[in-house]
Amino acid sequence: MKSYTEYLTFNTKNKREIINITDKVNEALRKSGIKEGFCLVSAMHVTAGVFVNDDEDGLIEDLTEWLEKLAPFNPNYKHHRTGETNADAHLKSLLIHHEVIIPVTDGRLDFGPWQQVFYAEFDGQRRKRVVIKIIGE
């Protein structure tokens, strides 16, 4: 079995951004030479996430609004007693989750219709990383 690892680096302009990274994941898969296996994509920070969904602007807006309703910015979070101000980013990350595993079949990401990979940043404007780990033959 072979494995391939690649790191993506982000430093978003905004505090919160959702970025389609499907092309970057596909490029890593191409470089790996792996034809059958699995591709793990994982945010390496507790205030970011990775998810698979449709790349449709209205849906992305709906997702952003939904996350804000479930984990709104609030200065009264207990986490803020430490001097931090990003408790909502931690909670949003938990809702999105930090990683996805995508099957690799015949050298391609084995997605259903419309599926894409996204990086979700909830406490940006600083350097963050995502690891792509591809395992297979």
Task: Tell whether the torsion through CA atoms of 60, 52, 90 and 77 is positive or negative.
Answer: positive
pTM: 0.96
Condensed to tens digits (0 to 9), the pLDDT of residues 95-113 reads 999 999 999 999 999 999 9
Q: How high is the pLDDT of residue 128?
A: 97
State the pLDDT confidence band at 10, using cuts at 50, 70 and 90. very high
User: Is the domain covering 2-136 a CATH 2.60.120.460 domain?
Assistant: yes
Residue spans of the domains in the chain: they are 2-136
Q: How high is the pLDDT of residue 68?
A: 97
Task: Tell whether the torsion through CA atoms of 133, 28, 121 and 116 is positive or negative.
Answer: negative
Q: What is the DSSP string of 70-110?
A: HS---TT-GGGGGT---HHHHHHHHHH-SEEEEEEETTEE-
